[in-house]
Amino acid sequence: MISPTALIADDEPLLRDSLERSLARAWPQLQIVAQARNGREAVEMFQVHRPDIVFLDVHMPGLNGVEAARQIARQAQVVFVTAYEEYALQAFERGAVDYLVKPVEDARLSDTVQRLQERLAAQQPLPGSSAALEAVIDELARRMARPPAGALGGHGAQQSGLGSSAGSSAFSAMAGGLASDSGPLQWIRASVGSTLKLIPVDEIQFLRSDEKYTLVVTADGEALIRTPIRELIERLDPQRFVQVHRSVVVNLHAISHVTRGPNETADLHLKARPEVLPVSRSYLHLFRQM
């Protein structure tokens, strides 16, 4: 039996990786054949890999998800991924295409996976063959032309989805931000659906950021927050947390050992997590005495 294949397109790498991990839990047989950083890459990679399913972020630089869908949708099942409920049209629910709203909750993803599995098993005609898809895409494009209702500015305003690591049961998504206004940071807020969780800063193993989000990792879970790492580092206890790379901050108490790498670099190994964190040349001096 040939495993179904999929492509994920999102301009935020943390969110691409998050969705891939969530899909691995919800649909282990699904093979993610490629990740694209924008709509144009998505179209190009689609032509190369011809996946059965394409997960398209609605907002991407250059060619956005809607424009990419016009070129792809007639050849694959399309699932739009969006941060705004405004774009979660009822037409999607009628089956023209599917959608996921960030944060991507496991229960909602399971529903999408079930629908996709049924369509593939029944070998149903691709929804792009009907006028329904064109109507959905046209409506989505029209709504994108105006600011989405409920879209708030600043960090902590937009939610992003992220599942907990495989085998863990911790929090899965984030809304948040900083849970205290002054002094060293003690907690970070993260939400799981309608539940707000406070992550003790002492439990953080490391932080990793991309342009918009920061991944907060503890021993048994992880969450995304829309607070830049440059703001977080200013609020963390410098005796415990140090920046070791442009995009990585680590809890010194979480480090197991350090290995030297080429060209004045090093790798950090953690006591409770399998990830290996890079230390760039600019921060190597922090570990010379260790």
Mean pLDDT by 10 residues, the chain (290 residues): 91 88 94 96 96 92 87 86 70 67 81 90 62 73 62 35 35 49 78 71 92 84 82 90 93 93 87 93 79
Which residues 6+ apart lie within 8 Å of 78 measured at CB? Answer: 53, 54, 56, 69, 72, 97, 98, 127, 128, 133
Return the pLDDT at 135: 73
**For position 33, what pLDDT does the model report?**
97
Q: What is the pLDDT at residue 253?
A: 95
Which of 155, 158, 183 is CA-nearest to residue 173?
158
Q: How many residues does the chain have?
A: 290
CA atoms of 206 and 222, how far apart (whole Å): 10
- The encoded tokens of residue 220 equal 């048994």
How far does CA 13 lie from the centroid of its chain? 7
| Secondary structure element (H or E) that encloses residue 256, with its range | strand 255-261
Closest to 34 in 3D by CA, of 53, 62, 58, 14: 53
For residue 106, CA distances in Å to 37, 162, 279, 284 come to 23, 9, 33, 39
**DSSP code of residue 165:** P
Q: Where are the alpha helices (DSSP H) in the chain?
A: 13-26, 39-49, 65-72, 90-93, 106-122, 131-144, 229-235
**Which candidate, 156, 163, 65, places its Cα nearest to that of 108?**
163
- What pLDDT does 258 receive? 92
Distance CA 155, CA 22 (A): 24
User: Long-range contacts made by residues 248-256, C-beta under 8 angstroms, separation at least 24?
Assistant: 248/206, 248/207, 248/208, 248/209, 248/277, 248/278, 249/206, 249/207, 250/205, 250/206, 250/207, 250/277, 251/202, 251/204, 251/205, 251/206, 253/202, 254/204, 254/205, 254/206
Q: In 3D, which of 74, 54, 82, 55 has the Cα closest to residue 141?
A: 82
pTM, rounded to two decimals: 0.66
The Cα 264–Cα 287 span in angstroms is 12
- Per-residue exposure over 248-281, b if at least 16 CB sit within 10 Å of its own CB, e if not: bbbbbebbeebeeeeeebbebebeebeeebebbe
Residue 133, C-beta contacts closer than 8 angstroms, at least 6 positions apart: 73, 74, 78, 96, 97, 127
